Amino acid sequence: MSTISREEVARLAALARIDLSEAELTRLAGELDVIVESVAKVSEIATADVPATSHPLPLTNVFRDDVPVEPLPVADVLAGAPAAEDGRFLVPQILEED
Amino acid sequence: MAADLTRRSAADLAQALRSGEVSSVEVTQAHLDRIAAVDGAVHAFLHVSTEDALATARDVDARRAAGEELPALAGVPVAVKDVVVTKGMPTTAGSRILSGWVPPYDATLVERLRAAGMPILGKTNMDEFAMGSSTEHSAYGDTHNPWDLDRIPGGSGGGSAAAVAAFEAPLAIGTDTGGSIRQPGAVTGTVGVKPTYGGVSRYGLIALASSLDQAGPVTRTVLDSALLHEVIGGHDPRDSTSLAEPLPDVVGAARLGLTGDLTGVRVGVVRELDGEGYQAGVRDRFEESLDLLRGAGAEVVEVSCPHFDYALAAYYLILPSEASSNLAKFDGMRFGLRVEPTDGPATAERVMGATRGAGFGDEVKRRIILGTYALSAGYYDAYYGSAQKVRTLIQRDFAAAFEQVDVLVSPTAPTTAFKLGEKLDDPLAMYLNDVATIPANLAGVPGMSVPNGLVDGLPVGFQILAPARADDRLYRVGAALETLLEQRWGGPLLAQAPELPTAAPEGSQP
């Protein structure tokens, strides 16, 4: 019995901007219990008095001198783009029209 | 002659190049020939950069002939995992979504390889975006274990480990997020090192989980790993998590270890990383290695790290969360694949969904969905936050253990290499491969896998863990164990690997 429904997977896929087929939605719904089990496991010891660690070796206020350097050549960067025009990335329409 | 060159260690080759016994072009060509002969069967490489490698080799030879003082590994070729960006060389991270992408810049570690005069042979296969333990999740086909071509080479860096084990490269670069350098090392009979977090720059690595990822050496000997570690390690201002302190003397530590003396070194066996789930033969080899360490003068004691039992669960939460965020940049706009939806308006948002649906493989989709769930409104504290607390507890376990001992040890992986396809439909069984390696990533401490024998003809590995910034301890203990084992075997473990089928050399007639 899956704890994360097919509908929930569809909602997450929309949030993550991944088009999934019907078959993928069904299969993934059956595979996501691992996360619920993992949460149950870590909750056994993750009590309020334990501080969280976000990075293994804490470093704070990492600065470097603000030195201008040559940027990457525009042509080199655009060479890897799916589409380009006039020295810029060419992207699909951003806003839907009414 | 050519066959001999590919069997030699990087340290030997460097010496032969310095003395003028061989040229870098000869060494590089020998490895390119070996790749042409065996990579059809092994499939360690996604891209072979013949011209680039030979150009570097010619340049090094010319500079050496002109009497220039050159770095230690100048002229020794290296293979690079395809998750590391290389200017002018295709970089896919094993994913269809980056098919054909040629990066406009080099990762810091690649800049350092080039500055050291090391010819880059090509890019090695891997699980897509480093998600996996078998290299079966590559979009470009499986890599085969040189010890048994029907078996996995480990993962995610199966290509780098197999390339080194198959004598296609003396050295390779790997990356390790939960064991992706060490576990492939164990199952292919090679040495792999995950340095201290921040010890090697992550600038130019295609990120999987930024708080866990670390690049490191993949080699056939411990000394070779130290030499490569010295080339790629050290502070990089372009990585804000890079450690400012100089690297410890890893090469000196390896040479000290090669004397085989470990008098006064305290070795802790982690109780939680030895027991249920570990194949009997793996445990036998582990016990034999402990006896060798004792014989070398080390004091071996058992220590407990009780929170290690929770490491896997914390990893399941942290890795997908960070991965789902890092992989958001693959949106079909600025690089790589773009797929337009088959019907309806081709808006940016719909193109992004179609591109990611078509460009990502099953395991990547699975982990992005898991991470999106864990980071969703209302779950963040309970999920990602709780997992981060477990990291604190695991760090405390390490700190307490390292008050009693200098290094911690365990088997690297619980089993020998399994058959290709055997665990593909069971993600949980796949993840269990990394049960012994994950704690080091969560705590940021360095780890090494050294080959320590065979079980039914397949290699197994011995893991050594040290405190953060004390990577030199890995090299001392690892080199000592290696030298003691090789005395018993009468040579390197890889000398026992079966001969690989070779393709006919180019131009020859049947």
CATH number at residue B196: 3.90.1300.10
State the helix-helix crossing angle for A22-31 and B362-374, rounded to 10 degrees.
60
Identify the domain containing residue A41 by its residue range. Answer: 1-46
Please give the tally of structural domains in chain B: 1
Parallel, antiparallel, or unpaired for β B215-219 and B191-194? antiparallel
Amino acid of residue A67: V
| A57 lies in some domain | no
Does the residue B250 lie in any domain? yes
**Which B residues in the span 144-163 are in contact with A, Cβ-Cβ below 8 Å?**
none
The answer to whether A16 contacts B324, with C-beta atoms less than 8 Å apart, is yes
Q: What is the mean pLDDT of chain B?
A: 95
B426: pLDDT strictly greater than 90: no
Phi, psi of B437 (to 5 degrees): -95, -25
Determine, yes or no, domain membership for A73.
no
ipTM: 0.94
Give the chain B residue nearest A26 (alpha carbons). B366
pLDDT digits (tens, 9 = 90+) for B274-331: 877 899 999 999 999 999 999 999 999 999 999 999 999 999 999 999 999 999 999 9
Q: Give pLDDT tens digits for B148-201.
A: 999 999 999 999 999 999 999 999 999 999 999 999 999 999 999 999 999 999
- Chain A residue with minimum CA distance to B345: A96
Q: Is residue B348 part of a domain?
A: no
Q: What pLDDT does B504 receive?
A: 67
Quick check: is A53 in a domain?
Answer: no
Q: B19-57, pLDDT tens digit by residue?
A: 999 999 999 999 999 999 999 999 999 999 999 999 999
pLDDT at B425 over 80: no
Domain count, chain A: 1
Q: Give the per-residue pLDDT at B217.
A: 98
Q: Is residue B358 part of a domain?
A: no
Contact B482, B256 (CB under 8 A): no
Q: What is the pLDDT of residues A47-70, one digit of tens each?
A: 999 999 988 888 888 888 899 999
Categorize the per-residue pLDDT at A3 as very low, low, confident or very high, splitting at 50, 70 and 90.
confident
Q: Which residues of B touch A20 (CB under 8 A)?
A: 357, 365
Contacts of A93 in chain B (CB under 8 A): 345-348
DSSP string, chain A: --SS-HHHHHHHHHHTT----HHHHHHHHHHTHHHHHHHHHHHTT--TTSPP-SSSS------------PPPPHHHHHHTSS-EETTEE---BSS---
Distance CA B69, CA B6 (A): 25
**pLDDT tens-place string over residues B336-361:** 999 999 888 899 999 999 999 999 99
Please name the residues between 471 and 500 in chain B that touch chain A, using a CB distance below 8 Å: none
Q: What is the DSSP string of B419-470?
A: BTTTTTT-HHHHHGGGTTTHHHHHHT--EEEEEEEEETTEEEEEEEE--TT-
B8: Cα separation from own chain's centroid: 20
* Other Cβ atoms within 10 Å of B141 Cβ, number: 12
Report yes or no: B83 and B126 within 8 Å, Cβ to Cβ.
yes
Q: B156, B225, B242, B289: which is the annotated catalytic residue? A: B156
CA distance B323 to B438: 16
- Residue of A43 and B440 predicted with greater confidence: B440
Q: Which of A18, A34, A56 faces B444 most closely, judged by CB atoms?
A: A56
Closest CA to A37 of A9, A1, A6, A74: A1
B 392-431 near A (Cβ less than 8 A) = 392-393, 395, 427-428
- Catalytic residue list contains B304: no
A19 assigned to some structural domain? yes
Is residue B365 scored above 80 in pLDDT?
Answer: yes
Whether residue A5 is contained in a domain is answered as: yes
pLDDT tens profile B94-152: 999 999 999 999 999 999 999 999 999 999 999 999 999 999 999 999 999 999 999 99
- Residue in B180, B201, B225, B289 annotated catalytic: B180
Distance to chain B for A34, nearest Cα, Å: 8
Domain assignment present for residue B354? The answer is: no
Residues of A in contact with B385 (CB under 8 A): 46, 52
On whether any CB of chain B is under 8 Å from the CB of A60, the answer is no
Residue of B nearest to A8 (CA): B373
> How open is the CA angle B146-B149-B154, to the nearest 5 degrees?
65
Asked whether residue A60 is domain-assigned, the answer is: no
pLDDT band at B507 (very low <50, low <70, confident <90, very high): very low
* Cβ contact B347–A35 (<8 Å): no
Of all residues in chain A, the percent with pLDDT exceeding 90 is 61
Residue of A nearest to B315 (CA): A38
B389: annotated active-site residue: no
Q: B447 pairs with which residues across the strands?
A: B194, B465
Q: What is the pLDDT of residue B372?
A: 94
Residue A64 lies in a domain: no
Q: What is the pLDDT of residue B433?
A: 83
Contact status of A57 with chain B (Cβ, < 8 Å): yes
Instruction: Give me the amino acid identity at B432.
Output: L
- Burial (CB < 10 A; 0-12, 13-18, 19+), residue B263, is exposed
Nearest to B193 by CA among B179, B208, B182: B182
Q: Is B367 contained in some domain?
A: no
| CATH (domain of A7) | 1.10.20.60
Active site residue B180: yes
pLDDT at B355: 98
Is residue B449 within 8 A of residue B482, CB to CB? The reply is no
Write down the pLDDT at residue B144: 98
B407 beta partners: B267
The answer as to whether A36 is a domain residue is yes
The pLDDT > 90 percentage for chain B reads 91
B266-270/A88-89 β-pairing: unpaired
| Nearest CB to B389 within list A41, A52, A57 | A52
Residues from chain A that touch B316, judged by Cβ atoms under 8 A, are 34-35, 38
Query: Does residue A74 belong to the interface with chain B, where contact is any CB pair within 8 Å?
Result: no
Q: Would you call A34 and B307 a contact, using CB atoms and an 8 Å cutoff?
A: no
Decide if B260 is inside a domain. yes
Please give, one letter per residue, the 3-state secondary structure of B121-182. Answer: EEEECCCHHHCCCCCCCCCCCCCCECCECCECCCCCCHHHHHHHHCCCCCEEEEECCCCCCH
Q: What is the pLDDT of residue B510?
A: 42
Per the structure, the complete domain to which residue B91 belongs is given by 2-309+391-496
pLDDT 10s digits, B409-421: 999 999 999 999 9
Tell me the CB-side half-sphere exposure of residue B468, using CA atoms within 13 A.
22
C-alpha span between B22 and B137 (Å, rounded): 39
